[in-house]
Amino acid sequence: MKLADNKATLSFSNGSPSVEMPVYQGNIGPDVIDIRKLYAQTGMFTYDPGFLSTASCQSGITYIDGDKGELLYRGYPIEQLATNVDYLDTCHLLLKGELPNKTEQVAFHKLVTNHTMVNEQMQFFLRGFRRDAHPMAVLTGLVGALSAFYHDSTDINNPEHREIAAIRLIAKMPTLVAMAYKYGVGQPFMYPQNDLSYSGNFLRMMFGTPCEEYKVNPVIERAMDRIFILHADHEQNASTSTVRLCGSSGTNPFAAIAAGVACLWGPAHGGANEACLNMLEDIQRQGGVSKVGQFMEQVKDKNSGVKLMGFGHRVYKNYDPRAKLMQETCNEVLEALGLENDPLFKLAKQLEKIALEDDYFVQRKLYPNVDFYSGIVQRAIGIPVNLFTGIFALARTVGWIAQLNEMIGDPEYKIGRPRQLFTGSVKRDVKPLDQR
């Protein structure tokens, strides 16, 4: 961390002595005020629910400029990565800091491919779930269960263990997501096929059956790969912060990633793509494009509790760059599948147009986020709505593990332990039952 030229001074209106705090500069983005000694110096904490103004760590992985609508993985713009490299190259970049050269690429792809199978016992574990269980419930369980299978990669203080846990997670997530899907529809599990690409293999495990050969459609394969790249990391979002907090106790890495899966499930985070598609289907059922105006009135009415899902973001106060790329992919996939006139796509475009011109959205800087179009693409590919967040979890696993490993390697890392402003009862005595 680089010290900035200036310092921050905190003064108090009651005459308590003011305190000086160092300011640090990152390579880009806002400076941070170091408040670590604040409690020791003043006996006070800071108050910041939802971490609106708090940098919880230093990180060199992903950078977002929310005002510009810019997203960089290790310095590379998401637009360049999405058009020039594949998901496994992106994983290499996030984990190791650099895009692979040819030799590294071959070695990395081989390494991941060699770990795609899961222990055969996992099937029996899966069979304990109800067939109609939500795939995110299943995945939270399955990823947590990995911690019981790989005893040779659980020492998070050992860099080799961290590396092999990362490879195992990246390699096995597609297998687990596809198994969760196959279990729900009652079809046989498909074992991975190692001569296929990462995305091609996932599509085959999802949609292939042992009865006939599965032919990977290159447009769908590319779309899947792009979905994975766009969701691979997003700096200190809720699920990543969950993984860091969970991992900060020194827990098993697979258990920490399971915590990330659990957090991602929520509709304010990874569950938004599922919620967005359900919203579009609801509007469509009620009359489609003709009902958009009425729906928007509900969204703007604070008492209705209705939100335009797939819109708004804690950090982006401009167009989410991933949403643009996803819209492009959406056009490609719908065209390749002959679904150009898909009513939900038309509806989404109409909603977007109205929202981008409406004062309510303009004033609050609410723009489409990645989830606005990703649901339509996934639905066209044949992925069921309740599996959307599972696909997101698959893609984000690399981000979670890269961030977890970065944290463990950071000499400044400590167990995460926030403080509170206590508003409950002060000390009192327990009364006998007849006096309560």
User: Does 269 help bind ligand ACO (rule: CB under 6 A)?
Assistant: yes
Q: Out of 371, 410, 429, 434, which one is annotated catalytic? A: 371
Min dist CB 387 to ligand ACO, Å, is 16
**How many Å from the N-terminal Cα to the C-terminal Cα in the chain?**
56
Stretch that binds ligand ACO, among 156-164, 195-203, 241-249, 362-370 (CB under 6 A): 362-370
User: Does 310 help bind ligand ACO (rule: CB under 6 A)?
Assistant: yes
Q: DSSP assignment of 214-225, as one string?
A: ----HHHHHHHH
Give catalytic status of residue 371 as yes or no: yes
Measured distance CA(361)–CA(359) in Å, rounded: 5
User: Does 1 help bind ligand ACO (rule: CB under 6 A)?
Assistant: no
Interface with ligand ACO (CB under 6 A), residue total 18
User: Does 216 help bind ligand ACO (rule: CB under 6 A)?
Assistant: no
Closer residue to ligand ACO (CB): 311 or 345:
311
**Interface residues for ligand ACO in 366-385 (CB under 6 A)?**
366, 369-371
Q: Out of 86, 231, 313, 320, which one is annotated catalytic? A: 313
Closer residue to ligand ACO (CB): 314 or 324:
314
Measured distance CA(371)–CA(296) in Å, rounded: 18
Q: Is 177 exposed, middle or buried (0-12, 13-18, 19+ CB in 10 A)?
A: buried
Which of 118, 145, 227, 272 is the binder for ligand ACO (CB under 6 A)? 272
Query: How many beta carbons lie within 10 A of that of residue 302, not counting itself?
Result: 7
Give catalytic status of residue 5 as yes or no: no
Closer residue to ligand ACO (CB): 176 or 309:
309
Measured distance CA(26)–CA(433) in Å, rounded: 58
Closer residue to ligand ACO (CB): 160 or 282:
282
Measured distance CA(67)–CA(315) in Å, rounded: 8
Measured distance CA(411)–CA(58) in Å, rounded: 11
User: What's the chain's Rg over C-alpha atoms?
Assistant: 24
Could you tell me where the beta strands, DSSP code E, fall in 45-103? 62-65, 70-73, 76-77
User: Does 130 help bind ligand ACO (rule: CB under 6 A)?
Assistant: no
State whether residue 48 is helix, strand or coil: coil
By annotation, the residues acting in catalysis are: 313, 371
The footprint of ligand ACO (CB under 6 A) covers 268-270, 272, 299, 307-314, 364, 366, 369-371
